[in-house]
Amino acid sequence: MFVEHKQLKNLTVAADKIAHLHAASSSVQLAFAGRAPQLCRAYLFQIVGGQKTLVVVAFYLMEDQSSIFFVPKSGETPLVDVEKIYEEGYSFVESMGFVLTETDFHLLSADKKQSYWKALPIFQPPKKTVIAAQPVADTAAANNPALEKEFQEHCSRSLESLGRFLASM
């Protein structure tokens, strides 16, 4: 299961830390919470560091010129389990209507990897200020403080896990 990482707005990870980059072959119209419906591009990749890997799903919103990132609920993954999580990410992206294709990123030379990675819109900082719409309160969470607390704890764990992972690189 993948969850949105709300604090992450763009990636500043070195290209040599990226493995198995898949990109959508075309754009799809999507509507994310707090955003107007718009054409999006999708990316699926792994950030490798030490004995752990973080699988990331990224959507680039073309009208807003900004990115939304999703990470596994469990955070970073041991190398032995990454294939299963990557397949889940692949299914997640394709369930939204995208067709992912292998970019052969892992086969490029170091220089070509760097230029390819830096040219991707998910690597760039947001170009526009996005004013999010006021979210509609989720009645299940609003009526259940325990559920809201569990969700906040999960978000906090995911953020800490991502922070530790990125700091270890």
Q: What percent of the chain has pLDDT over 90?
A: 38
pLDDT at 7: 81
**Nearest-angstrom CA–CA distance, 104 and 47:** 15
pLDDT at 137: 47
Q: Are 153 and 146 in contact (CB under 8 A)?
A: no
Three-state secondary structure call for residue 43: strand
Q: Mean per-residue pLDDT for 32-49?
A: 92
What is the C-alpha separation between 134 and 110, in angstroms, rounded?
43
Residue 130 CB neighbours (<10 A): 15
The pTM (predicted TM-score) of the whole model is 0.72
| Residue-wise pLDDT tens digits, 55-95 | 999 999 999 999 999 999 888 888 888 899 999 999 999 99
Residue pair 86/44 in contact (Cβ under 8 Å)? The answer is yes
Calpha distance 49→43 (Å, rounded): 19
Average the pLDDT over 34-41 and give the result. Answer: 92
Average pLDDT, the chain: 82
Tell me what pLDDT residue 136 has.
Answer: 45
Q: What is the pLDDT of residue 1?
A: 85
Angle at 59 between CA 34 and CA 130, to 5 degrees: 40
Q: Percent of the chain having pLDDT more than 70?
A: 75
- The residue extents of the domains of the chain are 2-167
Q: How many CB atoms lie within 10 A of CB 55?
A: 29
